[in-house]
Amino acid sequence: MEGSAHILNDAPLVLAMAGNERLASALAAALDGAVADCLIRRFPDGETFIRIDSPIEGRPLVLVCTLDHADDKLVPLLLAAATARDLGAASITLVAPYLGYMRQDVRFQPGEGVTSLYVGQLLSSAVDALVTIDPHLHRHDALGEVYSVPHVTASAAPAIGVWVRANVERPFLVGPDAESEQWVRAAAGGDLPYVIFTKTRSGDHDVAIDAPDLAQFAGRTPVLVDDVLSTGRTMIGAAEILMAAGFDAPICAAVHGVFSGDAADALAAAGLPHVVTCDTIAHPTNAIDTTSILVDAIRKLASDD
Ligand code: R5P
């Protein structure tokens, strides 16, 4: 399998998996490429049909597929990559603004699958390179422990900091758990004050959060910052502590708004109407555009070759 070499030496073809059309168009424009003409649909029995109509032989392909709710997306993605390979694409670079399947990164209980590794192996066998934003790295130190192909991980956390400085008066940032410190520190950028809480999760919807003394932040507006908002329970648990300590309802800012199940309703019911996310997953709360972050990451991948 070829590497990501020459990804930008020739005008890339940019293929949008379902729901990624806006980003694919923006990337094609920024990279002097073209959006691939293709048809991906389901047969009546639910299996995937794919046809790539644009000439692809010898051209680098950028495959755009954000991977929230990944089980529905992985098979079509793998089949698109296989089709492109079969038709002679020079290289296949996956741009996955949100890289799902990163949180089961250890065998917590005997018998569990470490699915981050298995999905990493699967995708690494299908594409030549990967670009993503803020993958959930906790017990894996680096994405290279999970993905064997060349990759660039960009971060949208500084962009959250930019948004906070422009939109919130006298903010302080709050990381709801130890893992969030890397994103909170990047968003704080050396000038915004921040504090990190601790979290114990006992179930998908059950978290217990503890906080240090918050007196030094009196009079400031809390902004919760995390990489992923899934069930929303982490944000809600941290917000309850802040409100019990006398602060206004915090703004909840996440890089990736997955919004699983009843997350949106639960946040509203908890009195948290101000939720802000990056556009790595399309959602009404998107307030931070990551297109330029991804373009820079793709250019970095090309220059790393
Ligand atoms: C933790 O592992 C992550 O950084 C997030 O805190 C977590 O994914 C949030 O999940 P939820 O919204 O389901 O509490």
Residue nearest to atom 7 of ligand 1 (CA): 228
Pick left, alpha or beta for residue 116 (phi over 0 → left; psi -120 to 50 → alpha; otherwise beta): alpha
User: In the prediction, which pLDDT does 2 show?
Assistant: 43
Position 54 in a domain: yes
Position 8 in a domain: no
Give pLDDT tens digits for 207-225: 999 999 999 999 999 999 9
Position 296 in a domain: yes
**195: pLDDT strictly greater than 80:** yes
Question: What total of structural domains would you count in the chain?
Answer: 2
Q: Distance from the CA of 228 to the center of ligand 1, in angstroms? A: 5
- Identify the CATH number of the domain in which residue 271 sits: 3.40.50.2020
CB atoms near residue 162 (< 10 Å): 13
Alpha-carbon distance 263 to 230, whole Å?
A: 7
Residue nearest to atom 8 of ligand 1 (CA): 228
Query: Quick check: helix, strand or coil at residue 209?
Result: strand
Q: Distance from the CA of 210 to the center of ligand 1, in angstroms? A: 15
Band (145; pLDDT cuts 50, 70, 90):
very high
**305: pLDDT strictly greater than 90:** no
Same domain, 298 and 282: no
Give pLDDT tens digits for 23-78: 999 999 999 999 999 999 999 999 999 999 999 999 999 999 999 999 999 999 99
Same domain, 133 and 161: no
Same domain, 91 and 235: no
Same domain, 203 and 143: no
Task: Please report, as a single letter, which amino acid is at residue 217.
Answer: F
Nearest atom, ligand 1, residue 199 CA: 6
Same domain, 17 and 92: yes
Judge if pTM exceeds 0.85.
yes
Closest by Cα among 35, 64, 116, 12 to 282: 64
- Which residues form the domain of 258? 157-288
